[in-house]
Structure 1
Amino acid sequence: MKSLKYSFFLLVILVLSLLLWYNHVTKPREVDLGLRGYVRISPQTWSSSRYLALRCARCAVVSSSGQVLGSRRGQEIDGHECVIRMNAAPTRGFEADVGNRTTVRVVSHSSVRRLANTRYVVWGPERSMRHDGKGRVFNLLAKVARKYPGAHIYAVSREKMLQCDLVFQKETGKNRMRSGAFLSTGFFTMIFALDVCNSIDVYGMKDGSYCSLTNYSSVPYHYYEANRLDECGMYKAHERARRGGHRFITEKQIYRQWASQGKLQFQYPSW
């Protein structure tokens, strides 16, 4: 009788153990629904489990170009669910044309010292963004994250940077590095918007053929620096540069191809 009770006890233990094991292996694991190409820089360290979790039905992408001046589209821009801006382009004093709201700023590694209080996505070359203690820009971002624990700073991952190179090559037939080109903040912003937004309205960006027209109008490269650089002069100089230039005109030809797919629209100026 004791032997029977003991056997029954062992059977119960075995069944419970099997049930616990089955529950462990079949339990749904926590899924990070964020975008893995954009990794948060936490106050402590680089954290590969903290991805940018953002999805917008309708976005406004606001260029830093002088083309936006006089648009009077500020209220329209602010009416979007998400507003994406570039680098340190200000809104104060330009609200009528560019709006006031900002959801995300896509920032070049060379502009990180100008960070304020919003959500940032920072891109840069691997030598600047490496997180082994030798990445100058990454170290600065980590310092900012420690100083402001509530900051939302995300870095474009190395894999995402390589993916952007492949996109450029697919659309142009040219290897980005061999051609001597650097992708612009505008290019990373458009890629980011395509990742995050269901539909995208672009403001302040002319198409790639504009600067080839004999009667094109001169506008500032940045809307907030009226008396400095001419946009088309800047574009042409970069397009001709053998090394280290942004291919602004080529990139805009790529955007036209994307716009033909229906997700991307150029509201002002219209294309």
Structure 2
Amino acid sequence: MMLQEKENPDRKHKNYQCRCSFLEIYNEQIGDLLDPTQRNLEIKDDPKSGLYVENLSEEYVTSYEDVTQILIKGLSSRKVGATSVNSKSSRSHIVFTFIIESWSKGESSKCFSSSKTSRITLVDLAGLDRDKLEDAGRQHVQEDKNVKKSLSQLGHVVNNLAKSSEPENSGDTPYGSSCLTSLLRESLGGNSKLTVICNISLNRHSGEILSTLRFGQRIKSVRNDPVINEISEDDVNDLSDQIGQL
């Protein structure tokens, strides 16, 4: 669905197109929360757009209500488990992505003069809960093992980036060590602005609180290099000229 901005001070007509995707990482496998039949999806690398999840469904939205319905739909499919203190402890990481594309053109132009693409990614990490799971069978033990492993790898990536003074020095960062760190590559040391919220409870283990606070302190040192993803009219003309010369 395409939206159009009615008034614009720079006298350009702008059109917007918004779409969402919602996935979970469960036992190091990527699943589509908007289409639960799509499991074990693969991460691919496109030379132009970067990393993406192959066959991940996207839904177009035009309002806040549309986005809310997608969130409700996806969260209803998330993997959870009961612990002694939490009846719905998250057993998977989830990644909600909101993509906004815009096109603009001057009043005298019939063709779009520029386009921009923005991406908002919201990530909720699975809880690393030291309280024993109720009915802790083999499946729950494996879940806990994978959660600990992926969080440990995330911490390793953050530690590596925190030691780098410039984003371009992060070439040796082990992003590919897990699905989570692969998907967060742009968010950690890449082309993005990053905000991290760390949750703690004074009623929980002091070791967990200290570990969370240390993680928050380290990730503050991660430096990103955000730039506007824009294709201008000049870029389009240059590409057209190059094609014409072939």
More helix by share: 1
Which of the pair has the greater relative contact order for Cα pairs under 8 Å at 6+ separation? 1
Give TM-score scaled by structure 1 length.
Answer: 0.26
Decide which structure has the larger Cα Rg and report it: 1
More strand by share: 2
Give TM-score scaled by structure 2 length.
Answer: 0.28
